[in-house]
Chain A
Amino acid sequence: MLIDRQDSYNEEGRDQSRFSVRVLVSILFLLLLVLLLAGRMFTLQVGAHEHFTTLSENNRLRIEPIPPTRGLIYDRNGILLAENRPAYQLEVTVEQAGDLELLLERLSGFVELSPAEMDRFRASVRQRRPFQPVLLKSGLDDETVARIAVARHELPGVEIEARPVRHYPQGADFAHVVGYVGRINEQDLRRLDMRNYAGTSHTGKTGVERHYEDVLHGTTGHKQVEVNAQGRVIRELSVVPPVPGQDLFLSIDVGLQRAARDALAPHDGAVVAIDPATGEVLALVSKPGFDPNPFVNGISHRDFSALQSDPHKPLFNRALSGQYPPGSTLKPIVALAGLEENVTTAERRMFATGYYQLPGHERRYRDWRRGGHGWVDMNRAIAVSSDVYFYDLGHKLGIDRMAPMLGAFGVGSRVGIDATGERPGILPSREWKRSVQNLQWFPGETLITAIGQGYMLTTPLQLADVTSTLANRGQRVQTRLVRAIRDGADGEPLAEPLRYLDPVIASDAHWDVIHQALIDAVHARHGTAWGSVGSTSHTYRIAGKTGTAQVFSLAPDQEYDESKLDRRLWDHALFIGYAPAEAPEIAVAVLAEHGGSGGRVAAPIARRVIDAYLTSLGLLAAAEEEP
C-alpha cells in the first residue's frame, strides 16, 4: 500500500516533469510561429511597403452588385399580373452636394419631404460609402421629376434615378393569388442567401410571389469599378451581368377570374375553378380582395389598420386559408364509401322522416326539411340532400370506414397548391379526436360528420379539388397555379409537367350512381338546385351538389329562420359542380359567406362561372349565356 502510494507519487512526479518538457517545447514552438508571423508582417509592411502602398493608391477596385430583374407573372393568355415599372426616385451624392442642410431646404421647394424621410436620409448619409448616392425620396410623379430636371443646375449632387418597382396591374383581383413583394426584413434575411440578394431590396412575401421566389428572383451580377483616391467611380472594369428571373405563366384566366368575382356579388366568399384534366386552377377568387400595390414599398400604418379592421376582412384569403364545414357537398363521398364498403346499395330505400334517432338514444338528429323527404333511395337522397338518409348511412358505415374515403379525396390535408397560406382543414376520426382533444369518439359525431357538419372543415380550394376528383371519376391530378415557366423574354414558355396523385379507387358502377345523382341534384325536378339552375334554359348539364355550412349550431328544439337572424349568423351557401356533366371541362367550388341556401345562392354563381368558361372555350354561344 505504502509502496503503491510511493509509486503513484513518483509517477505523478514523472508526469509533471514530462508535462513541463512538453510545455517548454510548446512555448519555443509558439515563439517560432510568432516570429514567423512577425517576419511575414515585416516582409509585407516594411519590405514590400512601397509595392503595397502603390497598390493601395491605385487599387481602387470595388465590386458593386447588379440586382437581376424580377421575372414577370402572366395569366394563361399572356395578360400581365405582375410587372416591373420604372419609378423615379430622388438621390443625393453628398460629396457633390456642398452644404447638405441648405440643399434639403432648397429641395423642399420642389418636392414635399416628410420629417421621417429627412431622418432616414440623414441616417443613411452616415452609413454610406464615399460617392454612393443616398436615397432621399421614392415614388416621384412625372411633374416633380420635370420640375427638378429643369432646376438641376441649382441642385448640385441631386440625381433622379429610375428604378424598377413591382406593380400589379390587376389590383385587388389577384392579390390572393399572386401575392406581393415587400422590402426585405430581418426574417427574410434569415431565409435568403444574402450573397445573391446583395443588390436586391424586395422579396416575395405572399402567394405565388413568395412560393416561386427562387424562380422569379434570378442571379445577382456584379461589376468591378475603379474609383479614385476619394472613392469616386472613375470607370467600369468588368461586368458579370445578372441573370434575370424567370417569367411565370399562371393557369388562371383573367376574364374568368373577373367573371367569378362578379358572379359572387353581392356576397363575400370564394370561388375556385379547376380544369379537371390538368389540375390547372382557372380562377381563384377570394372576395373582397385588396390592392397589393401599397404593400410593395410599405403600406402606411393607417391604411393597414383600416384593412385589418374592415369587417369584410379583405386581407383574409378565404379560398386558401378559410376553413368551413363542407356541409352537404361531401354527401356524395359518404355515399361512395357506403357503396364501396358494401354497407348499402344504390337501390335500398328508406323512409326519411324529419329526424333520426340512434337506437336507444333520446336525441333527435333533425333533417334540414321539417317533414322529411319520404321514400328515398341513394340517388334521390343525394338529389334532395336528405340528412336522415345520411345519418343512417353514416351510422351503418361508422367513422372508421367513412374517414378513409374522405381522406382519399384529400379532405383534411393541404392540396399542395403553389402559393402560400394554404390550410389543411380537418378530417375528423377517432385518432384525430384522441390526439387533439384527448377524448373518445361518440357515435353521434359520426352522424353529423356524415352530413358535413361537426368537426370537419375544408377550404374552398379543397372543395374544388374534391370536385375535380369526382369529375375525373377518381383520377387525381396535382392542382397548381403555374402552368409554364419562361426563361428570358425571348425564350419559349416551358410547360410544367402534370403530376398524378394516388387515385380514389371505386367500381365503375358506383361512380355511375354518384355521377347520375349529381346530375339529378341539378336537373331533376326534385333536385336542390333545380329551381335556380336546372329549371332555367341551358344547352349543357351540370353535375353538382348544394350545401350549407352552419355558422352556429341550433339546439334540438330550435328552428333555423333566416328572417329572425342577424345577417352575420346566416349559414354559408355552398355549391360544388362540374360541367359539361358528360365530358367535364371545369370543376367549380363556390362559397358565399352568409349566403343562406346553397341551392338558391351558390348554385347560380357556379352556373355563371361555368357559362363564362365554356363560352371562352367556344363550347357555348355567347347568346346562351345567362344575362
Chain B
Amino acid sequence: MISVTGRELTPSQWILRSLRLDGTLLVLIGILLAIGLVVLFSATGESIAALQRQSGRIAVGLFALLLFAQVPVSTLRAWAPWLFLLGLGMLIAVMQVGDIGKGARRWLDLGLIRFQPSEIMKLAMPLMVAWYLSLRNAPPRLLDLLVISVLIVVPVLLVMRQPDLGTALLIGAAGLLVVFLAGLSWRWFLGLGLAIAAAVPLLWSQMHDYQRQRVLTLFNPESDPLGAGYHIIQSKIAIGSGGLYGKGWLNGTQSQLQFLPERSTDFVFAVYAEEFGFVGIAVLLALYFLIVARGLWIAALAQDRFSRLVAGSISLTFAVYMVVNIGMVSGMLPVVGVPLPLVSYGGTSLVTLMVGFGILMGIHSQQRLVNR
C-alpha cells in the first residue's frame, strides 16, 4: 500500500506527496470540519460573522498543518526538550503575569498575540516523553518512570492551578499514552489505577469549588437545576429529544430557543445530536474512529521509536478529546471543559490539533521516503 516504486501517480497523488500530506487523513478531517461549520451555523443562531471567523481559524489551522508536515522528524526530535522547557517556562510566567479571562489565569499577552501556553504543552508533552523514551530501545524501567512522572506531573499541576481541568487532563493523557505505547508493563498501569483511586481524596482537596460542584452535580444533576446541573439536564434533553433522525438542521428547539448553554463551544455535540439524531451521531463517531485508526496505522508503520510514540500519542489524545467531550455532554463524565475536537467554535484548540495532524503527516511522509 505504501510502496510507490514502479507505480504511476495521479496528479492529485503527486501534489499530496510533494506537500508531504496524507490524503486519507486530510479527507476525513475535511469532512469533520465541514460538519463543524454546518452545526456552528445553527448553534450560533445563523450568524454569518461567526461562520466567517471560524472559517478563518480553519484556514490558519490548515496552514499550520501544512507547515508542520514539512518539519523533518529529526528536527522535531532535536527540538522536543527545548519546546518542553519553553512551554514550562511560559506556564510559570502565566501564573505570574497572565491575563484573566472568565475568572481563570490562562492567557499570556505577548503584545502581538495572546495565547494559552497550555496549548503548547499539549504537543510538547508527547514530544518530550517520546524523546526521553527514544534514548533507549526498551520498555521503560523504574528510574525512567520516576523521571517521566515528574515531566508529566509538573505541567499538569501548573495547568490545574490556572484552573483548567480539561486541558490538564489532555496534557496528562498525552504523556501517559506515550508511556503506554512504549510498552510499559501492564502491572504498572494496574498500579497507577490503584494510585489514582488512592489520590482521589488528595485531588479533591486541590480542586476549586466550581470543579467540585461539577463533579457533585455529575452524579446528581437534578440536585442543582439552576446552577451547575443546568448544563447537563439541558444537554441530555437536547440529545434525547433528537431521536433517531433528529429534529432537522436549524430546527433543534433546545438550541434555537437558547435553553442549551455554551451551545457553540463545549456543548456543540448536543446541538448536533438534537438536529441530526442517532443516525448523525453514528456517522460522527465513525468519522472520529476512522481518523484515530488512520493515525495509529501511520504510527504502526513508522520507522523509529520516537516517530511511533509521537504519532501514536497524538492519535490517541485526539480520541481522548472526543470521548471526554461526548462523555460529558451526554452526562457520563463530569463537565471539565474539553471542546469537541475540530467541531467546537474557537481557535486555540483547533490550531493545536491541526499542528498535531501536521506532525502526523510529516512522520508518514518520512516513512514513505525511507521505504522508497
Contact = CB atoms under 8 A, between A and B. Distances in A.
Interface of A: 8, 11-12, 15-16, 18-20, 22-23, 26-27, 30-31, 33-34, 37-38, 40-42, 44-46, 48-49, 51-53, 55-56, 59-63, 127, 129-130, 190, 193-195, 222, 224, 227, 229, 231, 238, 240
Contacts of A20: 300
Interface in B271-307: 273, 277-278, 281-282, 285, 288-289, 292-293, 296, 299-300, 304-305
12 contacts: A8-B137, A18-B139, A19-B183, A19-B305, A30-B319, A45-B243, A46-B243, A52-B237, A52-B239, A195-B103, A238-B226, A240-B226
Contacts of B139: 18
B368 interface: no
B4 interface: no
B239 to A, nearest CB: 5
B230 interface: yes
A52 to B, nearest CB: 3
Interface stretch (B19-27, B251-259, B351-359): B251-259
Contact of A56 (B138, B226, B241): B241
For the residues of B in contact with A, the DSSP-based class is: helix
Interface in B206-248: 225-226, 230, 234, 236-244
Given A61-B259, A193-B103, A37 B330 contact: yes
Contact of B282 (A15, A23, A38): A38
B183 A15 contact: yes
B226 A23 contact: no
B242 A45 contact: yes
Contact of B308 (A19, A38, A240): A19
A222 B327 CA distance: 29
A31 B277 CA distance: 21
B372 interface: no
A62 B225 CA distance: 11
Given A15-B183, A56-B237, A190-B99, 4 more contacts: A19-B183, A20-B300, A62-B258, A229-B253
Contacts of B323: 33-34, 37
A52 B241 contact: yes
B215 to A, nearest CB: 19
Contacts of B182: 19
A11 B241 CA distance: 55
Contacts of A127: 45
Contacts, number: 139
B183 A51 contact: no
B312 interface: yes
Interface string B331-363: 010000000000000000000000000000000
B101 interface: yes
B241 to A, nearest CB: 4
Contacts of B138: 11, 15
Contacts of A222: 226
B171 interface: no
Contacts of B148: none
Nearest to A30: B319
A54 B350 CA distance: 36
A195 B285 CA distance: 34
A31 B289 contact: yes
A194 B102 CA distance: 7
Contact of A40 (B100, B238, B330): B330
Contacts of A16: 308
A31 B259 CA distance: 32
Nearest to B99: A190
A127 B253 CA distance: 16
Contacts of B86: none
Nearest to A21: B183
A28 to B, nearest CB: 11
Given A8-B137, A44-B330, A52-B240, A130 B278 contact: no
Contacts of B312: 19, 22-23, 26
A51 B289 CA distance: 30
A4 to B, nearest CB: 12
Contacts of B308: 15-16, 19
A152 B40 CA distance: 40
B180 interface: yes
B320 to A, nearest CB: 10
B243 A231 contact: no
Contacts of B319: 30, 33
B273 A22 contact: no
Given A11-B138, A45-B242, A46-B243, A22 B237 contact: no
Contacts of A61: 225, 259
Nearest to B133: A15
Contacts of B238: 56
B124 interface: no
A147 B230 CA distance: 44
Contact of B300 (A23, A40, A42, A194): A23
B220 to A, nearest CB: 17
